[in-house]
Amino acid sequence: MEQNNFLKDPKIYISLLVTLVITVLLFPEEGKFKYIYQAGRPWVYETLLSPIDFPILKTEHELLLEKEEKASQVIPYFEFDNAVANVQVQRLRSLQGRDSVNNHLLYFIVESLYKIYSVGILPDIEETPAGGTIVVQRDKRAQEVPVSEVYTFKKAEGYIKYYLSMSFPVYDPDSVYTAYRIGDFIVPNLVYDQARTELFHKEAVDYISPTKGMVYAGQLIVSEGEIVTTEIEQLLDSFKREYEMTYGYAESSLGLGSGHFILCLLIVASLFAVIYFTRKEIISHRKAFYFILTLYVLLFVLTVVIRNLSADFLYFIPYAVFAIYLMIFFKRRYVFPIYTVMLLPLLFQSDSGVELYMMNLTGGIIAIVSFKYFNSGWVQFLNSLFIFIGMSLAYIGFLLSQDGTLTLFDPRDIFRIAVNSLLVVAAYPVAFIFERVFSLVSHFRLVDLSDTNNRLLRELSQKAPGTFQHSLQVSNLASEAAREIGADMILTRVGALYHDIGKMKNPQCFVENAPAGFNYHEGLSPEESAQQIIRHVDDGVEIARRHKLPEVVIDFIRTHHARSLTFYFYAQYCNAGGDPGNKDPFMYHGQLPMTKEQVIVLMADAVEAASRSLKDYTTESISTLVDSIISKRLSDSQLVEADISIKEIETVKRMFKERLEQVYHERIAYPTIKKS
C-alpha cells in the first residue's frame, strides 16, 4: 500500500546536504571545555597540569579596582618648548662685556641654565603633581618622566646656587644670584596641555591589561579532590578561555572540525529519521520538508549568533515558539519528536547546555499542549505564563540538583526566562510569513475554510444544493473516520467539503441537482455523458485556483475519483455492444491518492453516493455496500500509492458502517387521525 518513491528524489538529499553544510560552517570554531567546576566544591577530575602556556586573567573585581585607581590618578601632559632656552640664554649672554660682569661666572651660569633647560622646567600650576610622574612630549615622542627628574623654579634656583658655591667658593652664591638677576632667566619650558592630558587619562583607564602573570606548560593547576578556591577558579577560567580561543589544542584543529562535522551530521540524520518514521508524507510534500529544515537552520543560526554575544543571552531566545510554528502546520504527535531533535544544538553551544535544553524542552512541551486551547487573542499570554512557570521550575530543579540549595539562584535568570516567555507571543505572527513562503496551510486557515458560510461554499449551496448536501455528508463521514485512525481531522473535513465544487459549472448534469422528471443525459451517448461527468474534476481545480484555495485542498479534488471508471455509463456502453476494453473514454484522469486523508475522502465519497441507491437500509445491506465499494477500490489498484494500512482501512470501513446505520436508522411511521 505504501510507496517510497520520494526517497529517490535527489532534491531531498540536496536540501539535507545544504542544511549540513550551513550548520558545519556556522558551528563555533572552538573546543568545548570538558571540565565543569565551581568555587567551594571539590575538583572531581584527575590532577590537572597545564598542557599549554596561558596568561592569568584578572577578575572583574580586580579590573574594576584598577580602573578606579587609574581614574583617580591624572598624569599631566607637557610639551617641551625648545625656544625658551635659546631666548633666555641669549638674554643672559647680552650681559657679557659689562664692567660689573665676571665672564667666568657668566659662562658658568649659562652652562648651568643649559643643563636645567635640557631637562625641563615645570610651570608653577595646580596640575603639576608634587610626586609621581608626568608625560613629556619632546620632538614628537612622548614618555613618562618622574617629577623628581625635572625642575621647578625653586629646584633650579637651588641647583645654580649650590654649584656656584662649589665652583666659586670665594663668592657668596646669594649675592651672585641677586647681582646677575639669575631668577629672571629661569622660565618654564614645559608647557601644560590640558586636552592631551584628558585624552591620555582616558586611554590609560580604557586600556588596562586584562592579565596578571602566566602559567606555563606542566605547571600544576589543581589536584584531584582539592577544593576549588577563588584563586584556583581564576586559573581554571583563564585556562578555559585560552583553550576555547585556540580551538582546544592547536595541533588538533582538524580533529576538532571533524568532531563538529560528525555532530552536525548526526543531528541532521536524526531529524530526517524522526520525520520519516513519524510522518513520511512530509518528505514527499517537499515544501513542508523544506520548512522544517529551514526552522532547524534558523534555530541553529539564532543560537550561534546570540551565544557569540553572550552565553547568558541564550536564556532570552523563545525556543518554544519553534514548537508552536510546527504545531500550526502539523499534528501534535509529530511535533514533539521533531522539536526534541531540533533543540539538540543547545547541548553543544553553552556550558549550561543540558540545563538550557531541558528548560526549553519543558517550555516546548507546555506550548504543544496548551497551544490548542490558548492560541488567539489575549489568552495567548496564558500560554506564555504556563511556559514561564514550567521553565522556572526546570531552572530551580537544576539549581537544587547541584548542591541541594538555592545559593546560586540569580534573579536575572528569572527575568530572562520571563522575557523568553513573552517573546513567544511576540514571535508568533512570523508563522504567517512561513505560510506564504512555503505554501503551507495553517490550522487557522483550515478552520476558516471549513466554515460553510464562506463565499465559495455558499455559492455551491445555491448553484448545486444536492451536491452541497452530499459534500456535508461526506465531510461528516470522512472526519469521523480520520479521527479513528489518527489522520488530520480538520484537513479531511475541508477536503471533503470542496471535493465536488467543480459540479457548480454544470450542476444539472448530476442527478442530485436535477429537478424531478428532468434527465440531462437523455439523447447523449454513454461516451458523451461520461465526459460531462468526468470534467467536473478539471472544473473543480480551475474554480479552486481562481478562489486561491491551497494546493493541499486542491489535491482532494484531483484524487477523490483517482483513475476509476464512470461505471454507470461504461455499463451502458458495454450493454449496447461496445468494446469492454475501450475504457479510456469512461476513466477519470485524476491522481491516485497518497495520504490517509485523501484515501478517506475517496472512500467516503463513493460510499455516501452509493448509499443513496439502497432500497433497504438494514445492517446487512449497509455492511455489504461498504465492503463492496471499498473492495472495488482495492481491486482496481486505486490505493497502491497510498500511505494507509489494511488495518486502518478496516477501521474506516467499520466507522462508515456505524455512521450510515445511525443516519439511515428505521423511523416510526406516524398514524393518521381517522375522520368521524
Asked if residue 433 and residue 451 are part of one domain, the reply reads no
Q: Which of 182-191, 243-252, 389-398, 475-484 shows the lowest mean pLDDT across its residues?
A: 243-252
pLDDT surpasses 80 at 96: no
Asked if residue 168 and residue 294 are part of one domain, the reply reads no
Q: Is residue 448 part of a domain?
A: yes
Domain stops at, among 206, 235, 263 = 206
Asked if residue 420 and residue 271 are part of one domain, the reply reads yes
Q: Which residue has the cell 470501513?
A: 653
Q: Which of 205-209, 217-221, 305-309 shows the lowest mean pLDDT across its residues?
A: 205-209
pLDDT surpasses 50 at 61: yes
pLDDT for position 1: 41
Q: Is residue 244 part of a domain?
A: no
Which range of residues forms the domain containing residue 593? 443-663
Average pLDDT, the chain: 84
Q: Is residue 286 part of a domain?
A: yes
Asked if residue 568 and residue 640 are part of one domain, the reply reads yes
Q: Is residue 216 part of a domain?
A: no
pLDDT digit string, tens, across residues 318-347: 999 999 899 888 877 888 999 999 999 888
Q: Is residue 582 part of a domain?
A: yes
Provide the CATH number for the domain around residue 644: 1.10.3210
Asked if residue 387 and residue 355 are part of one domain, the reply reads yes
Global pTM value: 0.60
pLDDT for position 476: 92
Asked if residue 461 and residue 408 are part of one domain, the reply reads no
Asked if residue 565 and residue 590 are part of one domain, the reply reads yes
Asked if residue 373 and residue 453 are part of one domain, the reply reads no
Asked if residue 619 and residue 537 are part of one domain, the reply reads yes
Contacts made by residues 232-237, CB under 8 angstroms, sequence distance 24+: 232/39, 232/43, 233/37, 233/38, 233/39, 234/56, 234/57, 234/59, 235/56, 236/35, 236/37, 237/57
Report the alpha-carbon distance of residue 498 to residue 472 in Å, rounded. Answer: 10
Q: Which grid coordinates belong to 583?
A: 475504457
Domain stops at, among 206, 221, 242 = 206
> In Å, how far from its chain's centre is CA 378?
25
List residues bridging with 530 in a β-sheet: none
Asked if residue 417 and residue 461 are part of one domain, the reply reads no
Asked if residue 284 and residue 143 are part of one domain, the reply reads no
pLDDT for position 3: 46
Domains of the chain: total: 3
Q: Which residue has the cell 666659586?
A: 168
Q: Which residue has the cell 531566545?
A: 317
Alpha helices, H only, 27-102: 60-72, 82-93
Q: Is residue 674 part of a domain?
A: no
pLDDT surpasses 80 at 253: no
pLDDT band with cut points at 50, 70 and 90 for residue 246:
low
Q: Are 204 and 70 in contact (CB under 8 A)?
A: yes
Half-sphere exposure of 424 (CA within 13 A, CB side): 37
pLDDT digit string, tens, across residues 568-601: 888 888 998 888 888 888 999 888 998 889 999 9
Q: Is residue 599 part of a domain?
A: yes
Domain stops at, among 138, 171, 206 = 206
Asked if residue 484 and residue 414 are part of one domain, the reply reads no
Q: Which of 416, 518, 506 is nearest to 467 (CA)?
A: 506
Q: Is residue 241 part of a domain?
A: no
